Amino acid sequence: MKRSTSTPNLTRRALLGGLAGGAVLGLLPPPIRAATNGVREFTLRAQKADVNLVGEQFPATAVWCYSGQAPGPVLRARQGERLRIRVDNALDEPTAVHWHGLRIPVDMDGVPGISQAPIAPGQSFTYDFTVPDAGTYWYHSHVSTSEQIGRGLHGALIVDEAQPPPVDRDELWVLDDWRLNREAQIAPFGHGMDISHGGRFGNTLTVNGRLSETFAVRAGERIRLRLVNVANARLFGIHFEGHDPQVIAYDGHPVEPHRPPGGQVLLGPGQRADLILDCTGQPGETYRVIEAAYEGETYQLFAMTYAPDAPVRANPAPLPTLVPNPLSDPDLNAAQRLNVTLDGGAMSGLQGAIYDGERLDVRDLMQRGRMWAINGVAAHTTAMPPLFTLKRGGSYVVAIENNTVFPHPMHLHGHAFRILARDGQSVPHQPWADTVLLNPRGTAEIAFVADNPGDWLFHCHVLEHVSGGMTSVFRVT
């Protein structure tokens, strides 16, 4: 993938130059507390805090985050449990929390303008829902997302299977990038270039909120690795030098275990993958874990260092099979076909779009900060007339065409869909997902059963594209 935007001047390398090296990845906190009567209670405080993203040689970074941590605390539950999560807003502006990928009732979906009033500063809102699916999910603000998520308002949400597959370790890597200045402070938001091009790219890549240099493993170990891309705009293309990881789930949903295409686990913003990583190296060896989604720009995320200890087992165990989540398969013969076209951005032929019911030319759109359109409409608010009205229980195939030169990870709220095809090629295993990555000028076909009533956003997860109008509503009645 090529990236059509300039790189800010502070590079991760530049930051790393001052570091002595070798900090071990900090483990995220364990489950917060046990469920009582099947209800798991959590409190999240949306607040400002100073956290050290880039090491002790640099000042702490002022972030907005949940409960003092960026990423926020890992929320963990068992499939089928009820979660009650109180969110206290200690920010100076309204917020709301969306549970990305969870198929829950629309009034818990966290989208102001559709499902709830924003939580005003000083106020609280309690989310209360049952988690139907096991897997790796995440939560994030759904107000001014470019800035609120970009400043750190996100965290992982893990739902354990009734019978989790046996592994030696269950690891989570929350992948992010930050645009920091030389004092390690977050650069201002709202650049027109970020909106009209590929979104806001950072210059500092973090895993679990740190520049993590070492991933310590033991020979023979089997690790379940959960990857979550929470970046505003950056795709992550992860390579494990000398290893053969197998994908066992996308966006939380089990898939037949397989090698990622080209050995690269490619995740657009919002997307997740669960991997089985067998540590097949020898004691004392070191391998690199590399991010290489963009031509000519590679980052070493980790040095994967093997302890000197003898292997914990001689040969990897057979790969596990996960129990599928309770999803209804779309009936492709009866499915109604819907067409979605994505237009806009720099270097496109966008002539104009409907904005707030009015046809505007490109200059007028730009004056309103809008550069993108879905089926000729540039969003002005989430409370828009629906793009499509779907019949509850009906099967739908959505054919998406990207007429732009940028990639777009398109996310549907409240549902999971099968990815049938991308760029005219049928996708192996037709995995379930909640976000599908459209290549520049590419296409995708997804299919799902519209089984969750309500108004659901269908939007690009490049958050600056959302600001620029790339949002629509699917209504299920």
Euclidean distance between the first and final Cα of the chain, in Å? 39
Q: Distance of alpha carbon 307 from its chain centroid, rounded? A: 32
Q: What are phi and psi of 113, to 5 degrees?
A: 95, -20
Contact window for ligand C2O (CB under 6 A) among 70-78, 293-301, 378-386, 457-465:
457-465
Q: Which residue has the tokens 């409907």?
A: 354
The secondary structure of residue 69, as a DSSP letter, is: B
Of 76, 103, 151, 459, the one binding ligand C2O by CB under 6 A: 459
Q: Pick between residue 140 and residue 218 the one whose CB is nearest to ligand C2O.
A: 140
Tell whether residue 218 is a contact of ligand C2O (CB under 6 A). Answer: no
Contact window for Cu ion (CB under 5 A) among 52-60, 134-142, 168-176, 459-467:
459-467
**Kind of pairing, strands 154-160 and 75-78?**
parallel
Q: Pick between residue 115 and residue 402 the one whose CB is nearest to Cu ion.
A: 402
From residue 416, how far is each of 327, 386, 438, 446 by CA, in Å? 8, 19, 17, 10
What tokens were used for 122? Answer: 């000083």
Q: Pick between residue 293 and residue 460 the one whose CB is nearest to Cu ion.
A: 460
Tell whether residue 408 is a contact of Cu ion (CB under 5 A). Answer: yes
H or E element in which residue 359 lies:
strand 358-361
Of 457, 460, 462, 473, the one binding ligand C2O by CB under 6 A: 457
- Minimum distance between the CB of residue 251 and Cu ion, rounded to whole angstroms? 17
Q: For residue 453, give the nearest of 104, 110, 99 by alpha carbon.
A: 104
- Minimum distance between the CB of residue 231 and ligand C2O, rounded to whole angstroms? 12
Q: Pick between residue 111 and residue 365 the one whose CB is nearest to ligand C2O.
A: 111
Query: Which one-letter amino acid corresponds to residue 373?
Result: A
- Minimum distance between the CB of residue 99 and ligand C2O, rounded to whole angstroms? 9
User: What length is written for the chain?
Assistant: 477
Of 12, 100, 224, 418, the one binding ligand C2O by CB under 6 A: 100
The one of ligand C2O, Cu ion, none whose footprint includes residue 98, by CB under 5 to 8 A per kind, is ligand C2O
Full strand arrangement of the beta sheet holding 75-78: 75-78, 154-160, 135-141, 97-100
Tell whether residue 460 is a contact of Cu ion (CB under 5 A). Answer: yes
- Minimum distance between the CB of residue 416 and ligand C2O, rounded to whole angstroms? 13
Size of the site for Cu ion (CB under 5 A): 4
Tell whether residue 270 is a contact of ligand C2O (CB under 6 A). Answer: yes
The secondary structure of residue 85, as a DSSP letter, is: E
Tell whether residue 234 is a contact of ligand C2O (CB under 6 A). Answer: no
Report yes or no: 421 and 430 within 8 Å, Cβ to Cβ.
Answer: no
* Nearest residue to ligand C2O, by Cβ distance, number only: 100
Contact window for Cu ion (CB under 5 A) among 109-117, 240-248, 324-332, 408-416:
408-416
Q: Which of residues 137-196 bind ligand C2O (CB under 6 A)?
A: 140, 142
User: From its phi and psi, is residue 469 left (phi > 0), alpha (psi between -120 and 50) or beta?
Assistant: left
Q: How far apart are the C-alpha atoms of 402 and 318, rounded to whole Å?
A: 40
Q: Distance of alpha carbon 195 from its chain centroid, rounded? A: 19
- Minimum distance between the CB of residue 456 and ligand C2O, rounded to whole angstroms? 9
Q: How far apart are the C-alpha atoms of 175 and 325, rounded to whole Å?
A: 25
Write the interaction track for ligand C2O spanning residues 412-431; mark x where CB under 6 A is met and - where it is not.
Answer: -x------------------
Q: Pick between residue 95 and residue 203 the one whose CB is nearest to ligand C2O.
A: 95
Tell whether residue 3 is a contact of ligand C2O (CB under 6 A). Answer: no
- Minimum distance between the CB of residue 184 and ligand C2O, rounded to whole angstroms? 26
From residue 389, how far is each of 115, 304, 330, 356, 475 by CA, in Å? 17, 49, 17, 19, 5
Quickly count: other Cβ atoms within 10 Å of residue 393's Cβ. Answer: 11
Q: Which residues bind ligand C2O (CB under 6 A)?
A: 98, 100, 140, 142, 270, 411, 413, 457, 459, 461
Q: Which residues bind Cu ion (CB under 5 A)?
A: 408, 460, 462, 465
